[in-house]
């Protein structure tokens, strides 16, 4: 493939198959499109304009934006072409976190997307030299004013010559569930190797359309956009994830990348359609959903004939209308950042939308493993097969568990942490493998299953080790559980805080003549408590060992989100923050029976 640096990918598309619509973004409520030729032109004018402002090779420049956009991607490519180092910052970052990043990275300029981001950067970095805006706003240099009127081919070539495959391409600050953020250093070779690996294993339709709605500050979505550009996929950027249903119908994409919560929300909308149906309609929905959740296909063997007939009927009755609500052309969803419930992967795939889950981290550019679209290449519930060029091994088995730490080696592995040589050294083994900090094992010899974090494994007072993430994954198999946090360190048993799936719970209440009120009251309803105890008992018996069984639980009335600070930008639980948010509930989990009135042990 004819590119070795990330900014070369735009030229690659221009030479291979220039698009009339390479990128598209929302402007004043309408889609504004960018051709491949325009992407290259604006990239070159922006590179020149940045250098004309006095920025020089190696300078760090931040990007703080509330959503992805054509401007985001072009600014990213332009900075790298000008031998600058982009430093994306999550829009949900607190001011003090941005201040930490500013002090560590020492960026001299920042791109912002709107007035809210402008105010954030001014507060966090009051002495920053330049602030550039994707639009026009007071207090920042406007996009149009930053673009050079003309480009000098010799100047552009000189800038490009300052960058090789091994040049630092970007610094990514890990969101972190604990501790201060660390800057991951990735070279062009690191990320390009991942782009080429994904191009080799993901099939793209001719003239395919993608919809991008995840934060571009997250390396997964950013790398996916490089893949789209290299594959000639027309990319449309949503300016708000809240408008995703609307944009799916407008854009009618063939492929998207998502986190599990997006698929859960799509499933909830399917449940909302069920609620509007009559008695017979609800039975049809339930039958179709249950059929989809048992989808047996891995591509390795022919699908059972009887299942094929049933699936065809379900498609006529339910699935095709669901697909239409998502635009009607969606054929593939790449899922990352957190574990996806296997039943959802099966259901979407049964409905004709192939869901493929992967695994990675910022330190690996990011993809380590991915389920394939080829026959025999998918195993629902796992993170797939290591991608081409990447090696994975399981090391240091944890006492009492079937898992060990996942270690990775390959061209995608980071150079280290910015300004943190000791942290870098600690992250690698003596023989050069990256310690991911994640627990896992291989199934069927090649499919990687992630079961938790090494640092989160705890020992109960009985001396047995438990991986809370594994227990949480099993609890989340219940349709009634939206989120959960498992605890039990130095305690005689395992317990959990649980956020119900209130949409599904309300449906159950309607079907079972349980009066529905507000969530804060329903979590104390005796019938609801009995339901959840029954759900957990089934999971304990079928999915968990005796030491892992959840003996107590407390229902929580509100969700954990990035907005309330209880999830990281990559949708991982902030365990310490959640524990601090619910001190009374945490204490109730481990009260003696005589103190709590609980007699279920």
Q: Collect the ranges in the chain with pLDDT lower than 70.
A: 1, 175-179, 298-301, 592-601
Could you report the per-residue pLDDT of 527-572, keeping only the tens digit for each? 999 999 999 999 999 989 999 999 999 999 989 988 888 888 777 8
The pair of structure tokens assigned to 427 is: 């992250």
State the CATH class of domain 458-596. Answer: alpha beta
Sheet holding 130-133, edge to edge: 85-89, 60-64, 109-112, 130-133, 141-142
Cα 552 to Cα 228, 376, 407, 566, 581: the distances in Å are 46, 40, 34, 22, 19
DSSP 428: B
Task: For residues 246 and 243, give the distance between their C-alpha atoms in angstroms, rounded to a whole number.
Answer: 5
**Beta-carbon count within 10 A of 491 CB:** 17
435 pairs with which residues across the strands? Answer: 407
Cα–Cα distance between 2 and 430 in angstroms, integer? Answer: 35
Ordered by start, the domain boundaries in the chain are 8-257, 458-596
Nearest to 109 by CA among 123, 129, 133: 129
Q: Long-range contacts made by residues 425-430, C-beta under 8 angstroms, separation at least 24? A: 427/363, 429/395
Query: Distance between CA atoms of 201 and 358, rounded to whole angstroms?
Result: 12
CATH of 8-257, one of 2.60.120.560, 3.40.50.12780, 3.30.420.40, 3.90.420.10: 3.40.50.12780
For 36-155, strand residue ranges (E) read 60-64, 85-89, 109-112, 130-133, 141-142
**CA nearest neighbour of 186 among 168, 173, 198, 164:** 168
Question: Which pair of tokens denotes residue 491?
Answer: 């305690």
CA distance 512 to 555: 20
The answer to whether 288 and 318 are in contact (CB under 8 A) is: yes
| Same fold? 8-257, 458-596 | no
**Could you give the residue ranges of the DSSP H alpha helices within 183-319?**
188-201, 219-231, 244-251, 260-275, 279-293, 305-314
Give the residue from 93, 86, 46 showing the smallest Cα distance to 186: 86
Q: Of 126, 116, 14, 128, which Cα lies nearest the Cα of 67?
A: 116
Of the candidates 560, 589, 498, the residue with the CA atom closest to the CA atom of residue 535: 498
The pLDDT assigned to 601 comes to 35
| Residue 58, Cβ density class (10 Å: 0-12 exposed, 13-18 middle, ≥19 buried) | exposed
Bridge partners of 294, per DSSP, are: none
- At 452, list the tokens: 């938790």
The per-residue pLDDT for 181 is: 84
CA 442/CA 214 separation, integer angstroms:
29
539 closest CA partner among 337, 274, 267, 343: 343
For CA atoms 369, 370, 371, 376, give the dihedral sign: negative
Predicted model pTM: 0.89
The pair of three-digit structure tokens given for residue 523, joined into one six-digit string:
């979590």
Alpha carbon dihedral 144, 149, 154, 157, in 10-degree steps, equals: 20
Strands (E), 431-527: 434-443, 447-453, 458-459, 465-466, 481-487, 494-500
DSSP letter for each residue of 334-367: EE-SSPPPHHHHHHHHHTT-EEEEEEE-GGGSSE
End-to-end CA distance of the chain: 62
Q: What is the pLDDT of residue 298?
A: 66
Q: How far apart are CA 318 and CA 287, in angstroms?
A: 10
Q: Measuring CA to CA, which residue among 512, 552, 559 is closest to residue 532?
A: 552
CB atoms within 10 A of CB 439: 27
């Amino acid at each position: 493939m004819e590119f070795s640096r990330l900014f070369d990918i735009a030229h690659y598309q221009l030479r291979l198959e220039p698009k009339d619509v390479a990128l598209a973004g929302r402007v004043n409520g309408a889609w504004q499109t960018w051709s491949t030729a325009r992407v290259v032109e604006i990239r070159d004018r922006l590179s020149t304009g940045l250098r004309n402002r006095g920025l020089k090779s190696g300078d760090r420049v931040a990007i703080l934006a509330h959503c992805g956009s054509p401007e985001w991607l072009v600014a990213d490519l332009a900075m790298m072409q000008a031998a600058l180092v982009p430093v994306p910052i999550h829009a949900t970052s607190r001011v003090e976190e941005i201040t930490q990043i500013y002090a560590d990275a020492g960026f001299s300029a920042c791109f912002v997307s709107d007035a809210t981001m402008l105010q954030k950067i001014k507060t966090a970095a009051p002495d920053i030299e330049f602030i550039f805006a994707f639009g026009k706003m007071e207090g920042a240099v406007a996009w149009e004013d930053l673009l050079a009127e003309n480009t000098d081919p010799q100047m552009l070539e000189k800038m490009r010559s300052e960058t090789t495959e091994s040049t630092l391409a970007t610094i990514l600050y890990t969101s972190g569930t604990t501790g201060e953020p660390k800057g991951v250093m990735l070279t062009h070779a690191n990320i390009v190797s991942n782009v080429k690996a994904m191009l080799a294993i993901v099939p793209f339709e001719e003239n395919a359309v993608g919809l991008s709605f995840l934060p571009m500050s997250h390396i997964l979505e950013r790398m996916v956009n490089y893949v789209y550009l290299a594959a000639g996929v027309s990319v449309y950027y949503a300016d708000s994830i809240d408008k995703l249903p609307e944009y799916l119908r407008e854009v009618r994409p063939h492929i998207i990348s998502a986190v599990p919560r997006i698929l859960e929300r799509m499933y909830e909308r399917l449940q909302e359609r069920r609620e509007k149906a009559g008695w017979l309609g609800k039975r049809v929905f339930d039958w179709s959903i249950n059929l989809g959740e048992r989808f047996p296909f891995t591509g390795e063997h022919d699908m059972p004939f009887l299942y094929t007939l049933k699936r065809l009927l379900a498609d006529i009755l339910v699935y095709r209308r669901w697909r239409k609500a998502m635009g009607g052309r969606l054929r593939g969803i790449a899922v990352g950042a957190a574990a996806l419930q296997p039943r959802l992967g099966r259901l979407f795939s049964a409905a004709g939308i192939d869901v493929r889950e992967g695994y990675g981290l910022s330190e690996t550019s990011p993809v380590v493993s991915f389920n394939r679209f080829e026959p025999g290449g998918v195993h629902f519930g796992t993170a797939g097969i290591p991608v081409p060029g990447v090696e994975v091994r399981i090391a240091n088995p944890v006492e009492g568990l079937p898992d060990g730490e996942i270690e990775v080696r390959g061209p995608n592995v980071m150079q280290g942490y910015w300004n943190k040589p000791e942290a870098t050294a600690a992250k690698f083994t003596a023989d050069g493998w990256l310690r991911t900090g994640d627990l896992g094992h291989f199934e069927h010899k090649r499919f990687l299953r992630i079961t938790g974090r090494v640092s989160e494994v705890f020992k109960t007072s009985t001396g047995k080790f438990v991986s809370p993430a594994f227990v949480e994954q099993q609890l989340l198999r219940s349709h009634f559980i939206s989120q959960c946090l498992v605890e039990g360190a130095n305690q005689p048993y395992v317990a959990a805080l649980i956020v119900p799936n209130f949409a599904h719970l309300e449906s159950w209440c309607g079907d079972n003549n349980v009066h529905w009120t507000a969530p804060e009251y329903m979590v104390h309803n005796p019938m609801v408590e009995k339901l959840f105890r029954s759900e957990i008992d089934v999971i304990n018996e079928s999915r968990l060992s005796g030491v892992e069984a959840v003996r107590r639980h407390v229902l929580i009335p509100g969700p954990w989100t990035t907005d309330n600070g209880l999830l990281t930008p990559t949708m991982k639980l902030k365990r310490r923050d959640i524990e601090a948010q619910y001190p009374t509930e945490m204490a109730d989990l481990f009260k003696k029976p005589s103190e709590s009135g609980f007699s279920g042990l």
